[in-house]
Amino acid sequence: MGDYAKDLKISPVDEEGLSTILCDIEARINARPLTYLSEDPKNPELLTPYHFLTGKNFMDLPEVNPEDEEWVPRVTTTSELRKVWSYPQRLIALWWKRWKAEYIVALNKFQKWPYSNEAPQVGDIVLIDECNVPKNKWKLGKITELYPGKDGIARTAKLRTSIGFIKRPTAKLLLIEPAVPNR
């Protein structure tokens, strides 16, 4: 936690804030897929650790209902509430930034193409980098078709996702599992 506090130039988080941050991170890690997309249209869901922990897919926590008699805020002014809420949010955002920089980038075998032999292939399982979507909501897809540019290098891919087929630039695809092992 010291690295996060140092990066944010703020004091360490209290026990409740730390618990909130770690629960959020744990939830998002447990929501990552363990399996491939099923070929069976009756089973479009990917298995995640959440399925084994709770028997269902991950769902964000519901919004707090201030009308609930058991819910009592510790602070009462708007600025205090914003401060209490924003601190863990900044730490979570910092964690996601580091996650992307350290882990997701390590998955990206395509980042150096066309200068390497690591070009995407039909059958590869990929994480689809979506600019305006939080990283924990990025979809998993399977490359079904590649569209080469004038130079013969694949620039666009057709992907099968849990919601259907989409086309994306290959530069936005992060390799999770290659179609051909040990390539």
Q: Is residue 182 part of a domain?
A: no
Does residue 15 lie within any of the structural domains? yes
Given a cut of 60, is residue 28 above it in pLDDT? yes
Whether residue 7 lies inside any domain: the answer is yes
Q: What is the pLDDT of residue 159?
A: 95
Query: Are 140 and 101 in a shared domain?
Result: no
Domain check: are 13 and 40 in the same one?
Answer: yes
- On whether the CB atoms of residues 158 and 34 are closer than 8 A, the answer is no
**Does the pLDDT at position 86 exceed 70?**
yes
Mean pLDDT of the chain: 74
Q: Are residues 83 and 55 in the same domain?
A: yes
Sheet holding 164-169, edge to edge: 164-169, 154-161, 140-148, 125-128, 173-177
Residues 91 and 148 in one domain: no
**Is residue 134 assigned to a domain?**
yes
Q: How confident is the model at residue 13 (pLDDT cuts 50, 70, 90)?
A: confident
| pLDDT (tens digit per residue) in 88-102 | 777 777 777 776 666
pLDDT at 87 over 90: no
Who has greater pLDDT, 9 or 57? 57
Does a structural domain hold residue 117?
Answer: no
For residue 17, being part of any structural domain is answered with: yes
Which region, left, alpha or beta, applies to residue 152 given φ > 0 means left and ψ of -120 to 50 means alpha? left
> What percentage of the chain has pLDDT greater than the value 90?
11
| pLDDT given at position 84 | 72
Domain extent, residue 166, equals: 125-177
pLDDT tens-place string over residues 31-60? 777 766 666 666 656 667 776 676 666 665
Quick one: what percent of the chain has pLDDT higher than 70?
Answer: 59
Report the residue count for the chain: 183
50: tokens are 């959440």
Whether residues 15 and 103 share a domain: the answer is yes
Is 25 among the domain residues?
yes
